[in-house]
């Protein structure tokens, strides 16, 4: 209780409202973005997002309950991984990022560029690979820092790792395999 409440758009017979009940809360999208970048640990999310511990706990719990993430903890520290439903959110996140880049902070925040790993071509603003004509899923993408510099670069582990091109969805830290 208290998890999915406060987000209820109860009277809306609408798929957008249903989606927003799951991913529309503050911070949720940013948590998921980090998951796509390979972040899996509570502490990494905490350090990268400047989010309150209680709220991060709440969001992770809700996302696990909604089957967007799975909590994996065999003995060691728990890790949070995207499920299929979670990975399917990539187009939404990409579309919002592109809009932010074009209309909110044009030019100021170079952000990151995404390329089709197979052919190295940079995606267009709809997420299409202009070379292949397809819309690659997140597992087929490489993220790299865009041109230009961040205004005030961060120093947390996640920010540092993202200064080099990375295959998306690959864990930021090596698995603590038994």
Give residue for tokens 């990375």.
Answer: 166
E-state strands within the chain = 69-72, 79-82, 112-116, 141-145, 166-167
Q: DSSP state, 83?
A: -
- Least gap, CB of 165 to DNA (angstroms): 24
Residue 21: its H or E element: helix 15-23
Measured from the CB atom, the residue of 125 and 175 that comes closer to a copy of itself is: 125
Measured from the CB atom, the residue of 17 and 144 that comes closer to DNA is: 17
- Of residues 62-91, those binding DNA (CB under 7 A): 71, 75-79
Handedness of CA 52, 78, 35, 177 (dihedral sign): positive
- Least gap, CB of 176 to DNA (angstroms): 5
- Least gap, CB of 159 to DNA (angstroms): 15
Please tell me whether residue 57 binds DNA under the rule CB under 7 A. yes
Q: DSSP state, 104?
A: I
Please tell me whether residue 151 binds DNA under the rule CB under 7 A. no
Q: DSSP state, 127?
A: S
> Which partner in a copy of itself, DNA, none is near 163 (CB below 5 to 8 A by kind)?
none
Question: Which positions touch DNA (CB under 7 A)?
Answer: 2, 5-6, 25-27, 41-44, 50-55, 57-58, 60, 71, 75-79, 176
């Amino acid at each position: 209780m208290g998890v999915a409440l406060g987000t209820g758009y109860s009277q809306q017979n609408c798929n957008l409202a249903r989606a927003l009940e799951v991913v529309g809360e503050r911070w949720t999208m940013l948590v998921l973005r980090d998951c796509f970048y390979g972040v899996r640990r509570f502490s990494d999310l905490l350090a990268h997002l400047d989010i309150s511990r209680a709220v991060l706990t709440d969001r992770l719990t809700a996302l696990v309950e909604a089957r967007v993430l799975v909590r994996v903890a065999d003995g060691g520290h728990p890790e949070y991984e995207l499920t299929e439903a979670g990975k399917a959110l990539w187009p939404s996140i990409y579309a919002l990022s592109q809009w932010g880049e074009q209309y909110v902070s044009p030019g100021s925040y170079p952000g990151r560029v995404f390329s089709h790993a197979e052919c190295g071509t940079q995606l267009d603003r709809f997420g299409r690979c202009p070379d292949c004509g397809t819309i690659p899923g997140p597992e087929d993408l490489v993220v790299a820092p865009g041109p230009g510099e961040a205004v005030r670069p961060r120093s947390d582990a996640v920010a540092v790792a993202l200064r080099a091109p990375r295959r998306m969805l690959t864990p930021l830290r090596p698995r603590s395999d038994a």
